[in-house]
Amino acid sequence: MKLSFSTLGCPEWRYERVLEEAAKDGYAGVEIRGVAGEMRADKIPCFAVGRQQEARHMAEAAGVKLVGFGSSASFHDPNNLEKALEDGCAAIDVAHALGMGFVRVFGDRIGPDDNEDEVIGRVAEGVRTLCRYAAGTGVAVLQEVHGQFNLARRILGVADRVQMENFGLLWDVAHSDKTYGDNWPEFYAAIRPLIRHVHFKDHRRGADGGFTLCETGRGDIPLLPILRTLEKDGYAGYVSLEWEKVWHPGLRDASEEFPHFVKYIREGL
């Protein structure tokens, strides 16, 4: 199984250290979600035009694949569509220049007063627009299982409307766990043909319906059964640790969790 980590877990690291730590800990790839505090793809200094080939060569020299870019583009809000498309297109340009395989986008929200079908249609149109923009670049547009788009019918509602070869899903197992729990095989069976990338993290399910992030393997998400199923079914993409240090600064340092994740996965297989 190919492993990567998201730079969401090491927000203060410079690009050079990201690559060094990935190689040292045994990761095959790195998923970029900001570098040294900058989240927007075209604003990251080491990915600026004129420096992109240098950044690409540095990754190649380290033996680490730049897997994809996690943009912030989300399409549920009609007032934010222009900004989301701008963000997504900028990320596609950077991903193409650096040889990344995908750009991640979101649905993301369906409010209690929203018309669900209208939101799904709006998300699909935004995603489809990015897929058209990315056509011929080798960059796929992946919608993450996230927010209220963690139900199979909503995810498939987008996919049915998009119908583009360079569209796929990023399965975040923690977000589907919030609705499916130990019934995850039901969700997996529905979305399996669309899965291109997988996020792993762990949380504890609270009696009050809440969820608390924790170290990999210390929570309630059935990570190893999911991993073994992916392997059995011939999944060829990456399993990527998304250690959400940016949003949850109380989590332990990436220098501890990153090597722990590799050890946990290798021993579990």
Kindly state the tokens that stand for 104: 């991640």
Three-class SS of residue 217?
A: coil
Mean pLDDT of 34-46: 95
Kindly state the tokens that stand for 38: 């900058």
Confidence of residue 204 (pLDDT cuts 50, 70, 90): very high
CATH of range 2-268; options 3.20.20.150, 3.40.120.10, 3.30.70.20, 3.40.50.720: 3.20.20.150
The domain segmentation of the chain, as residue ranges, is 2-268
Containing 212, the helix (H) or strand (E) segment is strand 211-214
Residues forming beta bridges with residue 213, ordered by sequence position: 203
Tens digits of residue pLDDT in 158-186 = 999 999 999 999 999 999 999 999 999 99
Tens digits of residue pLDDT in 223-269 = 999 999 999 999 999 999 999 999 999 999 999 999 999 999 999 88
